[in-house]
Structure 1
Amino acid sequence: MNDAAPQDSTTPETSTSFDDLGLSEPVLKALRDVGYESPSPIQAATIPPMLAGRDVMGLAQTGTGKTAAFALPVLSNLDVADKKAPQVLVLAPTRELALQVSEAFGRYAARLKNVQVLPVYGGQGYGIQLSALRRGVHVVVGTPGRIMDHLEKGTLDLSALRFLVLDEADEMLKMGFAEDVDTILASTPPTKQVALFSATMPPQIRRIAEKHLDDPVEIRVENQSRTADNITQRWLTVSYPRKVDALTRILEVENFEGMIVFVRTKNETETLAEKLRARGFSATAINGDIAQVQRERTVNQLRDGKLDILVATDVAARGLDVERISHVVNYDIPTDPEAYVHRIGRTGRAGRSGDAISFVTPREKGLLRHIERSTRQKITPMDLPSVDDVNTTRLARFDDQITEALSSDRLDFFRETVAHYVRHHDVPEMDVAAALAVVMQGDQPLLLEPEPEPPARPWKERDRDGGPGAGPGGGDDRPGRGPRKDRPRNASGPMATYRIAVGKRHKVQPRQIVGAIANEGGLGRGDFGHIDIRTDHSLVELPQQLPPGAWEKLKGTRISGKLIELREDSGAPKKHRKG
């Protein structure tokens, strides 16, 4: 890096279009396909210098549109004909971000011929990644740990690398990847173009920039993710299997006109729309596979009141402007705050008030907090509507139907019909009215049945939660375990202590343990409890029931180059342990 101070680029305030930035025509066509109209401030400031071959150091929060800021110029300068070795490497701190970035590259490269994008992260089998690398890829998006594994195995060739992006660099350092990042950067050609993005700029990030960036343009941008004041934002905790039931109750209780329900995948739009129709709601799916003519017909039906609920993906709902949409439900909470802002912006149009409700599974509470920090707005917790709430709403709706029927011009005919039945069958009019209500209701019961009480768990399952069998004070008093009050508030289910074969002699730190196990095992930060680092091993408190496949994924996990050899701790007294 040159000794000259980084040039500072402020984000432009003028209205700029993507056409003005110098992007290639295929990339511009892809942007039109996904409905992007104008660049965000960081995109407008970053794209021109990157297209000109300059290194860039961007200070920007998640949610400002930085993925497109580096992906669009990189794709515009890509040599599509050459895929012998990767031309682009993007380093991301987590597998979720790696997947998100690789999907974004795929969308923006849709009009380029045969551009191959490969996400590389822990938890995915090596076979898939090795096969793709042998066939040849243009873009690799990966977590530092798995990229290091490929470099050590000699399965990733970075000799032809032209572009390197460090996304959320400060997060990578917090998770203990500083040495890995430095090693990876040192393994790349000196002629590459580098873009570094970070929400903060601590001294360690500055040192990386000074060592590996050449006279960079420095870009600072304030977080643009803001939500409208006229939108009421709420969230509720709901497990995945209960989501359909939760949505059904909300649809019954909330007073909505039109609604968009957001899910992550195209398949899920069709599946959920079908389930809602089976429950009597007017719903249909809209996704990227829907033809434009069908999309326009569906939107018009929603606008005209012939349709009440759209089940949509992010891409399909972009640019959708229907005043009648009073509610947005995030059936699957988005991983990106910018996507959250775009989603809930579909309601509260033309100055009207709107409602946004987000379903959050226990493992997704970190995403919720991330969205709150990025939007600088607190989202209010709500309770799932109870059986009594639903039944009260159903009875009120039944009353309204009776009131409306009483004003019908057909009432005289039916009054005579009922009177005729009463005269000939000697049945009270009240009984006839009740019988007609039964006929009208059909096989569907008017009221929900109260939910049965959940069965008590056996003591063996309760002893870690302070029930019978627990240690003094209701907690587990075995060595190496923190008391219950120290355990993460959002960890789901009982906790257990696991042993890993790295400790003080390996110079391991808690953040490295959290980073490696979270990435490889599909865990969130809230799943970690007490961490006890000893001389030659460490004890880590994790959920007793690990996610499906986590054991298999963690077999090959390394920290500081050493296999962690994860296993459940035997709980032997401290004096019998080494170290």
Structure 2
Amino acid sequence: MTPDAETTATDGDSAAPSIPFSSLGLSDAVMRALDDVGYETPSAIQAATIPPLLAGRDVVGLAQTGTGKTAAFALPILSSIDTARAVPQALVLAPTRELALQVCEAFERYAAHLPGVHVLPVYGGQGYGVQLSALRRGVHIIVGTPGRIMDHLEKGTLDLSELTHLVLDEADEMLKMGFAEDVETILAETPDDKQVALFSATMPASIRRISQQYLRDPEEISVKSKTTTSSTITQRYLVVSYQQKVDALTRILEVENFEGMIVFVRTKNETETLAEKLRARGYSAQAINGDIPQAQRERTVDQLKSGALDILVATDVAARGLDVERISHVVNFDIPVDTESYVHRIGRTGRAGRAGDAISFVTPRERRLLDAIEKATRQPLTQMHLPTIDDVNATRLARFDDAITTALANGELIETFRGIIDHYVQHHDVPEADVAAALAVVAQGGEPLLLDEEDIRLPSFSRDARDARGASGGSGDGSRAERGPRRREGGPALAPYRIEVGRRQRVEPRQIVGALANEGGLSRDDFGAITIRPDFSIVELPAELPPATLRKLEGTRISGKLIELKPDRGPRGGGAGRFSRDERAPRFARDERPARDERPARDDRPARDDRTERKPRKPRH
């Protein structure tokens, strides 16, 4: 890439572009759609990217999530689509099904005045029949995940021979999830004269190699930002012990003026548990995780968008790609163990210039994670304190006052009920104030309006202090809790299981963890030691795996080979099975395991030899 092909754009937060969309050269139909949604001026990445894309240049766009990348490539594509040819002309590859659906929705929104344009999402978890029917009818734009696109190419059900545009959205995420070979195969099997746009938050060596190998003299556009998180997001943290988290969250929900909220936890099981506890406390909450069927997940997101649902309890993977305008708050119920996950999580709020709030629960042993987040984002987090009883009561009284004020505005109903109250006062000789108080009791349904229990006592510590255990080299500051999720007391006992893949298949611990976790619904805490031998591997998993989970895992493939998972019974034949503790490979450290958002979605995971990231191969033409 030559120096004159590089463009630097300024983050919209610091200096928003002053040029209007009308000066970028977009089609009239697209401009009408932008008018409908109220867009007037482009973001930095949009202003810098749209003109070269309209001119036919290949583009590499470097920008963080939430900067408007979708419109940056969708608007030029829609401005050049030939509706008379009902063949795939544009392909957008996205790392997750959630992001694919979000991008598809954006295309449909911007194509509101292009009735002949057909957009099709293609992702794992959806039946092939729906996708095949749409492909037979004819589509212009396909937005899909690499795994399912590869499946269609192998089956011969997807023809990309007339493709004119190809977009790699969040390319660094796709490579991190193990789709490097799939992406390169798809690139190599598309026309040489297509236009390619690559968007990524970072530029690792693998992305640089793809851009040099598959893009033609691309213009590199980088959006400079002072921070990796949006300045419109207020970031706070609360020091709280694990046992107090649910009560602390309830107090915060009482006093925070939120519209929609995502609460992030580490495991699938915790999403269901916490959502149930919140519903028991009267809040409209639902869980979303990788085990929930795709149709149900889509309904849940639609409920959040419409206001039928207020709180979404989610894992990192399940929430990736969500863009719901109602999300005013993000709560890290479990603080993430890596800073990238933190940035992605809080990026669900404060999007497109809107204000947002991010609150992180931090236990005393997790203070180093907090320090790492502040260092990486270059933004300090403000410590908040648990709302007191007085704070909660003041908020409840204010809301009660608002409810009364709203009711008083309905004059017709007030007049009707005034007659009923007068009738009661005359026949029972009770003061009107007492009747009003009695009606308030009825409205509360027997629940007290004001709280009077003791305030929750929180642990206190100084950000710079170190407790005696940490200072003496004990487990205080260096415990597993700081390096990653802890195994809580009473957790499942682990037992060794044998899988029939090993070093000959070039498997790595991250592939084993990703495949087993997604197929069996396992969490990071369900894994113990992982030992990779030449022809097999030994994995420590919960001793009492449910039969249904065992059946799923037995049929799992890693690097294209059936793993045939079964309990390890010790030496086989010449002692090839188990081996002594001293011969085992080092325990797979928890902070080295792939984060949930780095694992392939269940139906999109790499499943063949050429889907694991290996040394670069030459493109096929």
TM class, shorter-length: 0.5 to 0.7
> Which residue of 317, 330, 341 maps to 2:350?
341
* CA RMSD between the two structures: 5.4
Alpha-carbon distance between aligned partners in 2 of 1:235 and 1:205, rounded to the nearest angstrom: 38
2:81 matched residue in structure 1: 78
Q: CA deviation at 1:50?
A: 0.3
Q: CA deviation at 1:217?
A: 0.9
Cα distance in 2, alignment partners of residues 228 and 193 from structure 1? 34
Cα distance, 1:203 vs. partner? 2.9
Shift, 1:98, TM fit: 2.5
Pairing of 1:138-153 with structure 2 (within 5 A): 138-153=140-155
Per-residue deviation, 1:315: 6.3
- Offset of 1:22 from its aligned partner? 1.1
Instruction: Please show how residues 342-421 of structure 1 align to structure 2 within 5 Å.
Output: 342=351, 345-346=354-355, 357=359, 376-377=378-379, 393-394=392-393
The aligned counterpart of 2:293 is none
> Aligned ranges for residues 93-172 of structure 1 at < 5 Å?
93-172=95-174
Instruction: Describe the shift of the 1:444–1:169 C-alpha distance in structure 2 as closer, same or farther (beyond 3 A).
Output: same
Residue 51 of structure 1 and its aligned partner are, at CA, apart by: 0.6
Partner of 1:55 in structure 2? 58
1:259 to 1:179, Cα distance in 2 relative to 1, 3 A = closer
Whole-Å separation in 2 of the counterparts to 1:394 and 1:178 = 55
Tell me the residue number matched to 2:570: 573
Distance 1:194 1:553, change over 3 A: farther
Aligned to 2:184: 182
What residue number does 1:64 align with? 67
Code of the residue aligned with 2:219 in structure 1: it is V
User: 1:281 matched to which residue of 2?
Assistant: none
Between stretches 439-448 and 228-237, larger displacement belongs to 228-237
Partner deviation per Cα, 1:172-230 (whole Å, 9 max, x = no partner): 22333222221111110111101112233233322222221111111111247654489
1:553 to partner: Cα distance: 8.7
Which of these residues, 46, 49, 57, is aligned with residue 49 of structure 2? 46
Q: Kindly state the Cα deviation for residue 523 of structure 1 after the two structures are TM-superposed.
A: 7.9
Corresponding residue for 2:508? 509
| Residue 409 (structure 1) aligns with | none
Q: Which deviates further from its counterpart, 49-58 or 129-138?
A: 129-138
Task: Measure the CA separation in 2 of the matches of 1:336 and 1:29.
Answer: 33
Which moves more between the two structures, 503-512 or 4-13? Answer: 4-13
Q: Between the two structures, name the one with larger relative contact order (CA 8 Å, sep ≥ 6).
A: 2
Deviation at 1:52, TM superposition (A): 0.8
Map of 1:217 onto structure 2: 219
Deviation track 1:245-285 (CA, whole Å, cap 9, x = no partner) reads 98865453x2x6x5433579xxxxxxx9xx779xxxxxxx9
**Secondary structure, counterpart of 1:185 in structure 2:** helix
Q: Distance in 2 between matches of 1:129 and 1:512?
A: 28
Determine if contact 1:226/1:341 at 8 Å carries over to the other structure: no
Aligned to 2:210: 208
Using the TM superposition, name which of 98-107 and 495-504 deviates more.
495-504
Q: Is the 8 A contact 1:234 1:357 kept in 2?
A: yes
- CA gap 1:157/1:226 in 2 versus in 1, 3 angstroms: same
SS at match of 1:221: strand
Residue 485 of structure 2 is matched in structure 1 by 489
Change over 3 Å in CA distance of 1:342–1:206 after alignment to 2: closer
| Aligned pairs for 1:11-22 within 5 A | 11=9, 14-22=17-25
Whole-angstrom CA distance in 1 between matches of 2:351 and 2:188? 38
Shift of 1:392: 8.4
Q: Find the residue that maps to 1:137 and give its secondary structure.
A: coil
Contact 2:502 2:537 survives alignment (8 Å):
yes
Alpha-carbon deviation of 1:337? 5.5
8 Å CA contact retained: 2:102, 2:323: no
For the Cα contact (< 8 Å) 2:92–2:144, is it kept in 1? yes
Map Cα deviations across residues 388-408 of structure 1 (whole Å, 9 max, x no partner): x6698449978999xxxxxxx
Letter in 1 for 2:533: R
Q: What TM-score comes out, normalization by structure 2 length?
A: 0.56
Distance apart, 1:372 and its partner CA: 8.1
Q: For 2:22, what is the secondary structure of its paired residue?
A: helix
Q: Deviations over 1:43-79 (max 9, x none)?
A: 1111000011111112222232222211111121112
Residues in 1 aligned to 2:122 and 2:375: alpha-carbon distance in whole angstroms: 28
Measured in 1, the distance between the counterparts of 2:201 and 2:544 equals 34
CA distance in 1 between counterparts of 2:48 and 2:306 reads 33
Pair 1:338–1:439, CA change in 2 (3 A): closer
Aligned equivalents of 2:53, 2:353: Cα separation in 1: 32
- Three-state SS of the structure 1 residue aligned to 2:117 is coil
Superposed counterparts of 1:235-246, under 5 Å:
none
Identity of matched residues, % = 55
Q: How many aligned residue pairs are there? A: 444
Check the 8 A contact 1:89/1:163 in 2, yes or no: yes
- Alpha-carbon distance in structure 2 between the residues aligned to 1:495 and 1:36: 55
- 2-side partners of 1:138 and 1:374: how far apart? 41
1:431-470 matches, within 5 Å, as 441-442=441-442, 443-446=445-448
Unmatched segments (≥5 aa) in structure 1: 265-271, 278-284, 291-312, 319-327, 348-354, 361-367, 402-423, 425-432, 451-482
Asked whether the 8 Å contact 2:330–2:348 carries over to 1, the reply is: no
Quick check: 2:393–2:451 contact (8 Å CA) kept in 1?
no
- Residue ranges of structure 2 left out of the alignment (5+ in a row): 264-278, 285-301, 308-321, 334-342, 363-369, 401-428, 454-478, 579-621
In 2, the alpha carbon distance for the partners of 1:234 and 1:105 equals 37
Native 8 Å contact 2:61 2:221 kept in 1:
yes
* Contact residue 119 and residue 140 of structure 2 kept, 8 A: yes
CA contact (8 A) 1:30 1:108 kept: yes
Distance 2:148 2:371 in 1: 27
The amino acid of 1:44's aligned partner reads A
Distance across 2 between alignment mates of 1:120 and 1:544: 37
1:10 alignment counterpart: 8
Indicate how the Cα distance of structure 1 residues 393 and 48 shifts in structure 2: closer, same or farther if over 3 A, else same.
Answer: closer
Q: Distance in 2 between matches of 1:62 and 1:92?
A: 13
Distance verdict in 2 for CA 1:25–1:563, change over 3 Å: farther
Q: Equivalent residue for 1:92?
A: 94
**Alignment CA distance shift 1:220-1:316 (3 Å):** closer
Counterpart Cα distance in 2 of 1:69 and 1:156 = 26
Query: Are residues 57 and 228 of structure 1, via their aligned partners in 2, closer, same or farther at CA, if it must alter by over 3 Å?
Result: closer
